[in-house]
């Protein structure tokens, strides 16, 4: 099929490579004409996926019209906070009725909407929207290392088709019914990974990180249940699987961001030097505000948000978490 990937960051580029391997005609679109021209010319993505070569068959361009013409699948590899503006700008070119597959893991600031909801709004409800999530670092997907993900969507027929179209022996796709839970898991694991990174930056070890992970997944599940998701979604690939890799892997961007915060940099300092910020930075605030208004107890999210956005010193924030002292382990 003709597959158009919108967004030429790390995962967009990796997904373009995957689609190419799966036998599709692939177009990789980026919003930045200059950088995209560099990709097209060098067949490399030095900023987001260094060392990986783009096959010639993958068309690369910054012009949405040819990129989306006759597309049969549209993949959204755009950070959550930019999804609405990018998609609104190109939506007229998206062929009506073709499935739109979101790869974003976040919640939109201001609206608290999930990426699939933003996509559905931006395309005017003319396209079925699905989401792919799970432990899938772009660096490894690009190199065809074995990966397993979940694909969720309200539309079973399209979910099954996309599964058939994009699964390869080294990229397993499991269908999942709980789109809401899958997207919540993907968004919130970034916040817990930030906490894990902050603890690491403060000099804490893997025991602390594992404790944060354990309590983090319970916190995510609590939020998810309050929002109507299925609790067991959080104990699968999209939940603990993705959280573990985000919190522990060298590739974890949110973890790495947290480490810098833990070592004493401020959000403002990092923002002034970095092109892109870890998704969890914004998600933490969206979730914290929602959790407060809905009365959901989310101590890790509170602490991360306090440290990132309200000047709470990192050692104090982490100390608060460690001092929370229920006498027995309660889940859910």
Catalytic residues: 189
Could you give the string, one character per residue 190-209, with x where binding to a copy of itself holds by CB under 8 A and - elsewhere?
Answer: ---------x---xxxxxxx
Does residue 175 touch a copy of itself according to CB under 8 A?
yes
Contact 13, 54 (CB under 8 A): yes
Does residue 52 touch a copy of itself according to CB under 8 A?
no
d(CA 4, CA 34): 19
d(CA 22, CA 20): 5
d(CA 15, CA 123): 21
**Would you say 97 or 326 has its CB closer to a copy of itself?**
326
Report helix, strand or coil for 60.
Answer: strand
Q: What is the dihedral of CA 17, 21, 25, 27, to 10 degrees?
A: 0
Which of 37, 40, 210, 270 binds a copy of itself (CB under 8 A)? It is 210
Residue whose tokens read 């490894």: 140
Does residue 298 touch a copy of itself according to CB under 8 A?
no
The one segment of 1-9, 114-122, 170-178, 298-306 that binds a copy of itself by CB under 8 A: 170-178
Q: Which helix (H) or strand (E) holds 160?
A: helix 156-166
d(CA 226, CA 314): 28
**Would you say 44 or 214 has its CB closer to a copy of itself?**
214
d(CA 199, CA 202): 5
Q: Which of residues 118-157 bind a copy of itself (CB under 8 A)?
A: 134-137, 139-141, 143, 145-148, 150
Which of 22, 211, 277, 312 binds a copy of itself (CB under 8 A)? It is 211
Does residue 240 touch a copy of itself according to CB under 8 A?
yes
d(CA 244, CA 264): 24
CB of 175 to a copy of itself, least distance (A): 4
Q: Which helix (H) or strand (E) holds 2?
A: strand 2-6
**Would you say 99 or 241 has its CB closer to a copy of itself?**
241
Per CB under 8 A, residues contacting a copy of itself are 134-137, 139-141, 143, 145-148, 150, 160, 163, 169-170, 172, 174-177, 199, 203-211, 213-215, 217-218, 232, 235-237, 239-242, 244-245, 247-251, 322-323, 325-329, 331-332
């Amino acid at each position: 099929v003709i597959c158009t990937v919108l967004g030429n960051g790390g995962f967009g580029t990796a997904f373009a490579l995957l689609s190419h391997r799966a036998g599709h005609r692939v177009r990789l679109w980026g919003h930045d004409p200059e950088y995209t021209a560099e990709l097209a010319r060098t067949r490399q993505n030095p900023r987001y996926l260094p060392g990986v070569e783009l096959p010639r068959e993958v068309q690369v361009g910054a012009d949405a019209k040819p990129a989306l013409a006759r597309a049969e699948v549209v993949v959204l590899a755009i950070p959550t906070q930019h999804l609405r503006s990018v998609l609104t700008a190109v939506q007229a070119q998206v062929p009506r009725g073709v499935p739109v597959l979101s790869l974003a893991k976040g919640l939109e600031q201001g609206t608290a909407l999930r990426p699939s909801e933003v996509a559905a709004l931006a395309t005017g409800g003319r396209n079925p929207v699905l989401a792919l999530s799970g432990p899938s670092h772009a660096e490894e997907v690009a190199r065809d290392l074995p990966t397993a993900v979940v694909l969720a969507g309200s539309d079973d027929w399209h979910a099954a088709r996309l599964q058939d179209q994009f699964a390869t022996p080294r990229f397993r796709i499991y269908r999942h019914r709980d789109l809401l839970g899958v997207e919540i898991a993907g968004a919130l694991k970034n916040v817990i990974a930030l906490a894990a990174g902050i603890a690491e930056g403060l000099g804490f070890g893997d025991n602390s990180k594992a404790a944060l992970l354990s309590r983090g997944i319970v916190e995510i599940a609590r939020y998810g249940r309050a929002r109507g998701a299925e609790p067991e979604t959080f104990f699968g690939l999209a939940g603990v699987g993705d959280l573990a890799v985000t919190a522990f892997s060298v590739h974890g961007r949110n973890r790495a961001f947290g480490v810098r915060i833990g070592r004493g940099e401020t959000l403002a300092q990092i923002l002034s030097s970095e092109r892109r910020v870890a998704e969890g930075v914004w998600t933490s605030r969206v979730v914290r505000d929602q959790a407060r208004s809905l009365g959901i107890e989310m101590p890790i999210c509170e602490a991360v948000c306090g440290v990132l956005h309200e000047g709470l010193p990192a050692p104090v924030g982490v100390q608060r978490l460690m001092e929370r002292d229920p006498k027995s382990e309660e889940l859910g």
